[in-house]
Structure 1
Amino acid sequence: MSAPHDAGTPAGGGAFAVEQLSPDFGFYVRTTELLAEARSPDQHIEIVQTPLFGRAMRIDGCFMTSERDEFFYHEPMIHLPAITHGDVRQALVVGGGDGGAAHNLLRYPQMQRVVLAELDREVIDMARQWLPAVHRGAFDDPRLDIRLGDGRAFIEGCEAQFDQIVLDLTDPFGPAVALYTRQFYRACQRALKPGGVISLHIQSPIHRGDTMARIVASLRGVFGVVRPYLQYVPLYGTLWAMAMASDSADPLALPAAEVDARLARDGLTDLQLYSGATHHGILSLPPFVQALLAAPAQPVDDGDSLDEPSLAQAAGALRLVAG
């Protein structure tokens, strides 16, 4: 792996957290304190204090979420599919140990149960203690059912069905590839009720375009409706892509006025990013992304690798420098 550039001591003190997204591209965030650190059998988890984003979580050297920008990620990931569905009562989050996805789902007044299938108890414990501005008490909501263990095994063995599934996962490299295959998406399809919706992040068209195209091809091999959408996520340092998939529900068929009406009905008038206007804005793909996703792409199957050469070199390339 190529080492990140030592940028020197930042103005104002502290250190630079440098995340190298590829050998040619990356970003930095100034940090002032390492607040907490844990090494579980699965991963390395840190909570850092940053002047710009407040407290932030990183796992295995990659930023996951922060207090001040989490809505850029969680609101489109949760609310676009939930509002498209219109009446989500049973939901499943795979991953999402920071609690942000669960919090947004639990805001729906009709929500009866949210299952959080998280691999690592340490992620939940760290988030519960250090990121209350992200989970906002979701871990103490009696409607939240926490299940620890492998997310794929949970879905494949689950007899219950859900209105909405959220795949709030780490990037699709190494063992995590098993959660991005056609076989896994078929298991998710079986775990959805009729008219159910699924959402996930699908990487970036800027520096992970091939991987993004393969994930979309995998979804299209399973679901009748697949709608990619784009959102800039400040903590990720780039334009990020997500997708909603369903056998029948289509977010493009929902007028902006109806999106706003459903948000008002459910008491979600204080969102910071998602609205009727942004619903269609983020679904409007620019030509270069349309071309990327129109080109032939090999779906991801069990046993495949998604380790692009640039990513293999950049994996885990976030560290503190000039401490």
Structure 2
Amino acid sequence: MSASLLFQPAPDAVYGFPNARRLVRVDSPHQHIEVWDTPQLGRLFTLDGRPMTSSGDEFIYHECMTQPAALTHPAPRAALVLGGGDGGAAKQLLAHRSIERIVVAELDAEVVRLTREHLPDVHGGALDDPRVELVIGDAAEYVARQIAGASHANRALFDLVVFDLTPPDSPAAGLYTPAFLTGLKRILAPTAAVSLHLGSPYFHAARVAALLENLRQIFAVVRPLAAYVPLYGSLWMMAIASDTLDAAALTAHELSARLAQRGLHALRFYDAATHAALFAAPHSVRDKLGRFLKPSR
């Protein structure tokens, strides 16, 4: 039976997809999960009524969340995905020939099970790749275990970290705090980059500004970027943070060379020409966020 699938990103805003059909409904120990089929975006899943990813537009979100940061790094070898149980971020990172290890720290085993079964276009089998280690449980606890290694030499050091999580007003709230970000730096390689999604500048301006402020307290270089994601009904902001790398400084020529060198010919949204546009916020966004979109140094 079809119905209108509606989302409310803010108290005074509603959008949705008519003629949607719910395929699965599961209450896990952590959250309420639904899988839907829609005429507009194909299959998608929601957590506690919030849109997560869809087979029709996941490439926009996942490419923007991974490729700019990964291409800024000269040769990423180890990556940590916080959340990301749908496998979309891991799929993107596996496209880099230098990648040797990806840890996906996902809270909910049901997310993995349901997206494995219903959204194969999103994960593309990435979670079955031998370079991917799936860790089910609290991502904060995983990071704490790595920090608690017997010595710095024995800790896992990551070149890339992708925050593919639910928003801060969810079970993932603790992973967005300055305390967590400070601890996370202890397992980052010197040239590491961290990629986060922030939210809509129109629906969540205060949240976006607060997250950027937290990042600026911890990292030397913070670069916001944005792309329109149909499933989220808005321009969607992300950020790349690092102490040594500046994603916005890469030229189209440098990016073209790296894309060719790494054999990244199958991307559907992101390319060298798109890169600069992602970091160029429109006037309406600059007006809302003001000083948070100024260069961090």
d(CA) in 2 for partners of 1:285, 1:106: 29
SS at match of 2:156: coil
d(CA) in 2 for partners of 1:195, 1:291: 32
Point out the more displaced range, 172-181 or 255-264: 172-181
Could you say which residue in structure 2 is the equivalent of 1:206?
Answer: 202
Answer whether contact 2:36 2:45 (CA < 8 A) is retained: yes
Answer whether contact 1:213 1:292 (CA < 8 A) is retained: no
Q: Does 1:87 align with 2:75?
A: yes
Answer whether contact 2:201 2:289 (CA < 8 A) is retained: no
Could you say which residue in structure 1 is the equivalent of 2:44?
Answer: 56
SS at match of 2:218: coil
Q: Does 1:41 align with 2:35?
A: no
Answer whether contact 2:41 2:57 (CA < 8 A) is retained: yes
Paired letter, 1:113: R
State the 1:266 CA deviation. 1.1
State the 1:295 CA deviation. 4.4
CA distance 1:234–1:265, change in 2 (3 Å): same
State the 1:291 CA deviation. 4.3
Answer whether contact 2:224 2:237 (CA < 8 A) is retained: yes
Could you say which residue in structure 2 is the equivalent of 1:227?
Answer: 223
Could you say which residue in structure 2 is the equivalent of 1:66?
Answer: 54
* 1:289 aligns with one of 261, 278, 285: 285
Paired letter, 2:245: A
1:20-65, Cα deviation, whole Å (9 max, x unpaired): 1122112011244222221110001111111111111111111111
Paired letter, 1:155: V
d(CA) in 1 for partners of 2:35, 2:19: 10
Answer whether contact 2:79 2:160 (CA < 8 A) is retained: yes
Answer whether contact 2:59 2:268 (CA < 8 A) is retained: yes
CA distance 1:168–1:109, change in 2 (3 Å): same
- The TM-score normalised by the length of structure 1 is 0.85
* Structure 1 runs of 4+ with >4 Å offset: none
* 2:184 aligns with one of 172, 185, 188: 188
Paired letter, 2:238: M
CA distance 1:23–1:283, change in 2 (3 Å): same
d(CA) in 2 for partners of 1:174, 1:66: 20
Answer whether contact 1:91 1:162 (CA < 8 A) is retained: yes
Answer whether contact 2:2 2:22 (CA < 8 A) is retained: no
Superposition map of 1:295-314 within 5 A: 295=291
Paired letter, 2:285: V
> 5+ unaligned residues in a row in structure 1: which ranges?
1-12, 297-323
Paired letter, 2:198: I
Could you say which residue in structure 2 is the equivalent of 1:115?
Answer: 103
Q: Does 1:251 align with 2:247?
A: yes
d(CA) in 2 for partners of 1:73, 1:295: 25
Paired letter, 2:272: G
Answer whether contact 2:5 2:20 (CA < 8 A) is retained: no
d(CA) in 1 for partners of 2:224, 2:17: 28
Paired letter, 1:25: A
d(CA) in 1 for partners of 2:194, 2:109: 24
* 1:276 aligns with one of 263, 272, 275: 272
> 5+ unaligned residues in a row in structure 2: which ranges?
147-154, 293-297
Q: Does 1:215 align with 2:203?
A: no
SS at match of 1:160: coil
Could you say which residue in structure 1 is the equivalent of 2:11?
Answer: 23
Could you say which residue in structure 1 is the equivalent of 2:152?
Answer: none
Answer whether contact 1:77 1:200 (CA < 8 A) is retained: yes
* 1:261 aligns with one of 257, 260, 279: 257
d(CA) in 1 for partners of 2:284, 2:5: 31
Answer whether contact 2:80 2:105 (CA < 8 A) is retained: yes
- Larger relative contact order (CA 8 Å, sep ≥ 6): 1
1:256-310, Cα deviation, whole Å (9 max, x unpaired): 11111111111111211111111110101223433444448xxxxxxxxxxxxxx
SS at match of 2:239: strand
Point out the more displaced range, 37-46 or 23-32: 23-32
The RMSD of aligned alpha carbons is: 1.4
